[in-house]
A = this chain, B = another copy of it.
Amino acid sequence: MLLRKAIETRARVEGDLLKVDDFLNHRVDVELFPEIGEEIAKRFTASRPDLVLTAEASGIPPAMAASQAMGIPMVYAKKYVGVGERYTFAREVSSPTKGTEYRVEVARRVLPPGLRVAIIDDFLAGGRTAEALGEIVEEAGGEVLGFVFVVEKTFTGGRRRLEAHGWRVDALVGVASLENGEAVLEPE
C-alpha cells in the first residue's frame, strides 16, 4: 500500500505530532490518492452512500478521492473563527492540541434530509471535528453510514468518542504510538 509506505518512510514525528505535510496535508502527492479513494470506497460497498462529507481543508483531498471512486458528490464543511454564515447546520468545536475554538458549518441547502452519508477525514485523534460532522448529518435528517480516516492515532480517544454514538469507525492506517521520534504503525 503506497500510503503505508509513505507514512513509514516520509512522515516525521515532532513531539506528539505526526507530520505528513510532505505528501498528505500540505504538499499532496496525488499518486497516493487513487488508492486512498479505492480503499475508502471498499468500506462502503455494502452501504451505498449518497454523499461524502468532510471538513476543510485537509479532509478535502481524501474526500475528493473517495467521492471520485464512488461516483457520488462530496461536501466539505467550512470552519469559521467567529461569526459564520446563515442557514447552516453548525457545531462549535474546541481543539485541545491547537488551543483554539472554531465553528464547523454545512449549508442547509447542500444537506437535504434522507441522505446516506460517508464521513471522511485525514486524521482521527480526539475526534471532535468528526463528531461535529456526525451530529450535523443526524440533525439534517441524514444517516451516518460510518467514518473512514486516512490515519488514526489509535492511542487517542477519538474512536471511542465516535463509537459512543453508535457509529462505525474505520481507518486505512493506524498509528499505535509516537515514541522516541518514531511512529509505530498498527499491523495491517
List residues of chain A with CB under 8 Å of any chain B CB: 21-22, 26-31, 33, 56-57, 60-61, 64, 67-68, 71-76, 78, 81, 106-107, 109-110
Which residues of B sit under 8 angstroms from A61, Cβ to Cβ?
60, 64
Determine whether the beta carbon of B28 is less than 8 Å from that of A76: yes
Determine whether the beta carbon of A67 is less than 8 Å from that of B21: no
Determine whether the beta carbon of B74 is less than 8 Å from that of A27: yes
Would you give 21 A-B contacts (Cβ < 8 Å), ordered by A?
A21-B109, A21-B110, A22-B109, A22-B110, A26-B75, A26-B78, A26-B106, A26-B110, A28-B67, A28-B74, A28-B76, A30-B64, A30-B68, A30-B73, A30-B74, A31-B71, A33-B68, A56-B57, A57-B57, A60-B60, A60-B61
Which residues of B sit under 8 angstroms from A30, Cβ to Cβ?
64, 67-68, 71-74
What is the minimal beta-carbon distance from A136 to any residue of chain B, in angstroms? 13
In terms of DSSP, what is the predominant structure of the interface of chain A?
mixed
Q: Name the CB-closest residue of B to A63.
A: B28
Determine whether the beta carbon of B26 is less than 8 Å from that of A76: yes
Among A22, A29, A68, A71, max chain B CB count under 10 A is at A68
Which residues of B sit under 8 angstroms from A72, Cβ to Cβ?
30
What is the minimal beta-carbon distance from A32 to any residue of chain B, in angstroms? 10
Q: Name the CB-closest residue of B to A68.
A: B30
Q: Name the CB-closest residue of B to A110.
A: B27
In angstroms, Cα B72 to Cα A109, docked, is 35
Which residues of B sit under 8 angstroms from A73, Cβ to Cβ?
27-30
Determine whether the beta carbon of A81 is less than 8 Å from that of B78: no
Which residues of B sit under 8 angstroms from A27, Cβ to Cβ?
73-75, 110
What is the minimal beta-carbon distance from A50 to any residue of chain B, in angstroms? 12
Which residues of B sit under 8 angstroms from A74, Cβ to Cβ?
27-28, 30
